[in-house]
Chains A and B, each alone.
Chain A
Amino acid sequence: MSEATAPKAVAGPLNFLDDRLGSTTFFNRNLKKVFPDHWSFMLGEIALYSFIILLLSGTFLTLWFHPSMMETHYEGSYTKLQGVKMSEAYASALHISFDVRGGLLMRQIHHWAAILFMASIMAHMLRVFFTGAYRKPRELNWLIGLGMFTLGMVEGLFGYSLPDDLLSGTGLRITQGVAQSIPLVGTYISMFLFGGEFPEGNYGDLIPRLFTLHVLLIPGIILGLVTAHMMIMWHQKHTAMPTQKQTEKQVYGYPFYPVFMAKTGAYFLFTFGVVALLGAFAQINPIWLFGPYDPGAISSASQPDFYMGILEGSLRIMPNWEITAAGHTLSLNVLIPALLPLGIVFGGAAIWPFLEQWVTGDKRHHNVNDRPRNAPVRTGVGMAAVTFYGVLWLAGANDVLAERFHLSLFATTWFFRFTVFIAPVLAYIITKRICLGLQRKDAAIAAHGVESGIIVMSPDGKFSERHEPASQEQMSVLLSKERAKEQAPAADANGIPAPNSKGPMGYVRSRLQRAWTFDDIPVEKHDHGHDGNGHGGHDGHEVEGREPKQISH
């Protein structure tokens, strides 16, 4: 788009702004910003748009919500709780649900948007991880994303704790247990957070505190991080999947104005539409069925929202280990499930970009993504993490699973206790084998072309299928695979060890690098110059011959 062709509706306001702010060059440059096209690049936008919906619907809810633990008797229109003693927070949440016009719809939209916010961040992070889009120079944005996800979990926990219903109180009780299990400072943290004893502290401070954190502090931080995330993304430009026209130096895609703007605008409407559909037709968090919080009551099927499921699952399958020494109890049964699994997943995700750089020695900028199959170790580790998370997630729903599928509750617990260790290993092995298999397939296509479906008979009566060279577009995708960097010999001819393999760290590094590279399969054009015609019978053999060679050292 150039200045001359801009429609009047755009040019007018731009000129107005330019006259006052001198911003034409800014707009000119940025309206032409190019965005590559791939459906998985839209996953992060769901999170952005859900967040906007969350801010707006949340503001609506604050107009009626009373963040107060003052005791009251319900007198609203939901007859089944008439006269029941409850907190003002719960009563006002019921008021929003039953007596405010559109209140229940707004509550449900708010809650569904929160579910979609967290789900889309997870999906977006998986996309970024499996395509290697977090690599240099984008490690900072990866860390910011992790930070937002963590904050989102806390924000969600505080959010569904606000109505002070039976389910949310159960969640708060676990939160308090986790706080107390922290050695030395646990009781202080618990008393500080709750302002005294559970559930309401000395002055009923808990709900007002959660409210301020939920509507002001955490959304404020998330908003700041979203801005940073977007600005860094804008500055560094979007990564792209390998295609024919994509290079490391140049982004190929559609300009922001008019194409991408229209697409992303439409996608906002889609997101809003789906959230509104769910809000209108699927009941979420029916607090009137849970009843007001009462420390003496509990319901089965008390689960947190899904993004907390991993913590719930860890807690449910944890053996009851406690260490009591010198009059103090170390509650490993709460501390380990609260910190360890999430620590492994989030800590692992945070150090992964730097670990990968250290292992592969690859310090270059990467603007073109990897296809997941071309980095089997990364993809395998990612799937192991997904499996680990997924198993704990399922374990969090073990009573619902046992009830719905008529299983023994104990059997599910024991099943998950073993699977949480076994399944990630299996997932790693299986994923890596699948990746290598796909690499072999790519190598075969690159070397011999694609099957044409034409069977030819040679003069001596042998049948074979004619192979045709792959299309230019397909070849460029296949050939986007880089040959994994071979490991430098550990010692040179004079027996002097290579500088980066010295010491225990160097040893670990060279072992890891070997694991990363040893079974790499080169995908390259066949340089023998035959077109595959008449050689079909040899194909299998030729590919076999391309098995990775063990690198000796």
Chain B
Amino acid sequence: MKRFTAWRRRPWAGYAVVLAALAAIGVIYAGFTPQSDRAEAANATQAAADLENGRQLYNKNCGSCHGLNAEGTKDAKGKPIAPSLLGVGAASVDFQVSTGRMPAMNPGAQMPRKKPVPDFDTTIRTDYAEPEKREAAEKQKAQAEKNLADLREYIQKLGGGPEVPPASAVDPKGGDVAVGGKLFRTNCAQCHSFVGSGGALTGGKYAPPLDKNDVTPTQIYEAMLTGPQAMPVFNDTTLTPKDKQAIIAYLVQTREEPNPGGNGLGRIGPVSEGLAGWLVGIGLLVLAAMWITAKKPKKLKKS
């Protein structure tokens, strides 16, 4: 006992206690939580492996902000740093990760769309000439697709939520484009602008452009379903799946449609038109005026 009391006073004693406590918690945690996982996964070892892959990907890429149990984190003042992911569903994960918004680089008013991290980058090119390079790229792409699917499944398992829509629900050919235009103008244009070229929002937030081809129909559908970042949720009672498909049809057709009147000037309305009028119109005419007035008649009869 005397010996123990002496240890208690050693400089490393505090660390040792913390370490012991952490180990104890770890053991207890390991004793409870993974057991249920293991019980569920006992049916199919492959599913368990996938889920484990999803969990590891989550811990590696997401856990530092969203918390190890996806419960979200708050800063010292209680202000949320990252939201809880319980119940956000696979659709949300698919949207955020496939558009590269998550994992986020740095906290800001809004997470920008960017190239997804290599683990989840399903957009890499595979059309290399060299067979070995092509094979490697194809393998990497397949792995990225599997990773994304595993991560979706892991979050879906945690708390449920909206699933990734099937291909038939997002096919632009299946939507009524006239209805879609009407719905888009009523529900979306106030932020995304009339053809989806994007717009500014309050406090440094913005509605991202939808008129680029890298915004896939699935992502548009998932965004409506889950309401990422500043966007409101348009659930299936506000906009039925058919409405959502119509909006996708409108957006895809509009961005693929050529401008019958010439250069579209960015399709952002009268601002760029005024700029073109001044720079090109008045610019050219001033040059013409200078040229015309610089011309002196060779011989002019005295009048």
Which residues of A are at the interface with B, using a C-beta cutoff of 8 A?
A: 1-2, 5, 32, 37-43, 46, 79-84, 97-98, 104, 108, 112, 115-116, 119-120, 123, 166-167, 254-255, 259, 263, 266-267, 270-271, 274-275, 277-278, 280-286, 289-291, 294, 296-306, 309, 397-400, 402-404, 406-411
CA distance A277 to B276 in the complex (A): 12
- A300 partner, pick from B199, B265, B270, beta carbons under 8 A: B199
Whether the Cβ atoms of A282 and B285 lie closer than 8 Å is: no
The interface residues of chain A lying within 8 Å CB-to-CB of B267 are 286, 289
The interface residues of chain B lying within 8 Å CB-to-CB of A403 are 198-200, 206
Q: Which of B19-27, B57-65, B249-257 contacts A (4 or more CB under 8 A)?
A: B249-257
CA distance A398 to B286 in the complex (A): 28
The interface residues of chain B lying within 8 Å CB-to-CB of A296 are 186
Whether the Cβ atoms of A82 and B178 lie closer than 8 Å is: yes
Whether the Cβ atoms of B197 and A301 lie closer than 8 Å is: yes
A298 to chain B, nearest CB (A): 5
Other than the given A83-B178, A267-B288, A278-B280, 8 more pairs (CB < 8 A) read A259-B297, A274-B281, A274-B288, A275-B281, A286-B264, A291-B185, A406-B206, A407-B200
The interface residues of chain B lying within 8 Å CB-to-CB of A408 are 109, 200, 203-204
- Per-residue contact bits, chain B 237-270, to A (CB 8 Å; 1 contact, 0 not): 0000000000000100110010111111101111
B189's closest neighbor in chain A, by CB? A299
- B182 partner, pick from A84, A254, A290, beta carbons under 8 A: A84
The interface residues of chain A lying within 8 Å CB-to-CB of B288 are 42, 267, 270, 274
Whether the Cβ atoms of B269 and A119 lie closer than 8 Å is: no
* Candidate in B177, B253, B261, B286 with the most chain A CB atoms within 10 angstroms: B261
CA distance A385 to B269 in the complex (A): 26
CA distance A120 to B283 in the complex (A): 11
**Is residue B284 contacting chain A, with contact meaning CB distance below 8 A?**
yes
Whether the Cβ atoms of B277 and A119 lie closer than 8 Å is: yes
Whether the Cβ atoms of A282 and B282 lie closer than 8 Å is: no
The interface residues of chain A lying within 8 Å CB-to-CB of B207 are 300
The interface residues of chain A lying within 8 Å CB-to-CB of B181 are 80-81, 84, 291
The interface residues of chain B lying within 8 Å CB-to-CB of A409 are 200-204
The interface residues of chain A lying within 8 Å CB-to-CB of B197 are 301
Within 8 A of A (CB), among B154-186: 177-178, 181-182, 185-186
CA distance A275 to B145 in the complex (A): 52
Q: Can you name 7 A-B pairs with beta carbons within 8 Å?
A: A39-B289, A42-B285, A42-B288, A115-B273, A263-B292, A263-B293, A403-B199
CA distance A271 to B202 in the complex (A): 42
Whether the Cβ atoms of A42 and B293 lie closer than 8 Å is: yes
- A399 partner, pick from B109, B177, B200, B285, beta carbons under 8 A: B200
Shortest beta-carbon contacts, A-B, top 4: A306-B274, A283-B261, A300-B199, A402-B200
CA distance A39 to B198 in the complex (A): 41
Whether the Cβ atoms of A300 and B281 lie closer than 8 Å is: no
Within 8 A of A (CB), among B204-228: 204, 206-207
Whether the Cβ atoms of B282 and A123 lie closer than 8 Å is: yes
CA distance A408 to B203 in the complex (A): 6
- B300 partner, pick from A82, A259, A399, beta carbons under 8 A: A259
Whether the Cβ atoms of B200 and A80 lie closer than 8 Å is: no
The interface residues of chain B lying within 8 Å CB-to-CB of A79 are 177
- A39 partner, pick from B201, B260, B261, B293, beta carbons under 8 A: B293
B73 to chain A, nearest CB (A): 25
CA distance A299 to B197 in the complex (A): 11
B287 to chain A, nearest CB (A): 9
- B200 partner, pick from A32, A38, A166, A300, beta carbons under 8 A: A300
The interface residues of chain A lying within 8 Å CB-to-CB of B292 are 39, 42, 263, 266-267, 270
The interface residues of chain A lying within 8 Å CB-to-CB of B200 are 300, 398-400, 402-403, 407-409
Whether the Cβ atoms of B303 and A46 lie closer than 8 Å is: no
Whether the Cβ atoms of B285 and A271 lie closer than 8 Å is: yes
Whether the Cβ atoms of A290 and B194 lie closer than 8 Å is: yes
Whether the Cβ atoms of A303 and B269 lie closer than 8 Å is: yes
A294 to chain B, nearest CB (A): 7
Whether the Cβ atoms of B277 and A281 lie closer than 8 Å is: no
A-B contact count (CB 8 A): 209
CA distance A116 to B285 in the complex (A): 10
- A298 partner, pick from B190, B204, B285, beta carbons under 8 A: B190
The interface residues of chain A lying within 8 Å CB-to-CB of B206 are 402-403, 406
Whether the Cβ atoms of B190 and A410 lie closer than 8 Å is: no
The interface residues of chain A lying within 8 Å CB-to-CB of B277 are 112, 115-116, 119, 278, 306
CA distance A140 to B152 in the complex (A): 75
B261's closest neighbor in chain A, by CB? A283
A300 to chain B, nearest CB (A): 3
A310 to chain B, nearest CB (A): 12
**Is residue B136 contacting chain A, with contact meaning CB distance below 8 A?**
no
Whether the Cβ atoms of B263 and A301 lie closer than 8 Å is: no
B215 to chain A, nearest CB (A): 16
B192's closest neighbor in chain A, by CB? A300
Whether the Cβ atoms of A32 and B303 lie closer than 8 Å is: yes
The interface residues of chain B lying within 8 Å CB-to-CB of A43 are 286, 289
B178 to chain A, nearest CB (A): 5
Known contacts being A80-B250, A166-B194, A278-B280, is A305 close to B273, with CB within 8 Å? Answer: yes
A78's closest neighbor in chain B, by CB? B260
Known contacts being A112-B281, A263-B292, is A410 close to B189, with CB within 8 Å? Answer: no
Whether the Cβ atoms of A120 and B285 lie closer than 8 Å is: yes
The interface residues of chain B lying within 8 Å CB-to-CB of A411 are 204
CA distance A119 to B261 in the complex (A): 21
The interface residues of chain A lying within 8 Å CB-to-CB of B274 are 115, 305-306, 309
**Is residue B278 contacting chain A, with contact meaning CB distance below 8 A?**
yes
B182 to chain A, nearest CB (A): 6
CA distance A303 to B200 in the complex (A): 14
The interface residues of chain A lying within 8 Å CB-to-CB of B264 are 283, 286
CA distance A2 to B301 in the complex (A): 9
The interface residues of chain B lying within 8 Å CB-to-CB of A283 are 259-265
**Is residue B290 contacting chain A, with contact meaning CB distance below 8 A?**
yes
- A46 partner, pick from B203, B263, B285, B297, beta carbons under 8 A: B285
A286's closest neighbor in chain B, by CB? B261
The interface residues of chain A lying within 8 Å CB-to-CB of B186 are 294, 296-297
CA distance A406 to B271 in the complex (A): 17
The interface residues of chain A lying within 8 Å CB-to-CB of B195 are 289
Whether the Cβ atoms of A400 and B282 lie closer than 8 Å is: no
A313 to chain B, nearest CB (A): 11
The interface residues of chain A lying within 8 Å CB-to-CB of B293 are 37-39, 41-42, 263
CA distance A536 to B273 in the complex (A): 53
CA distance A42 to B287 in the complex (A): 11
B182's closest neighbor in chain A, by CB? A84
B54 to chain A, nearest CB (A): 34
CA distance A290 to B257 in the complex (A): 14
* Candidate in A119, A294, A300 with the most chain B CB atoms within 10 angstroms: A300
The interface residues of chain A lying within 8 Å CB-to-CB of B265 are 282-284
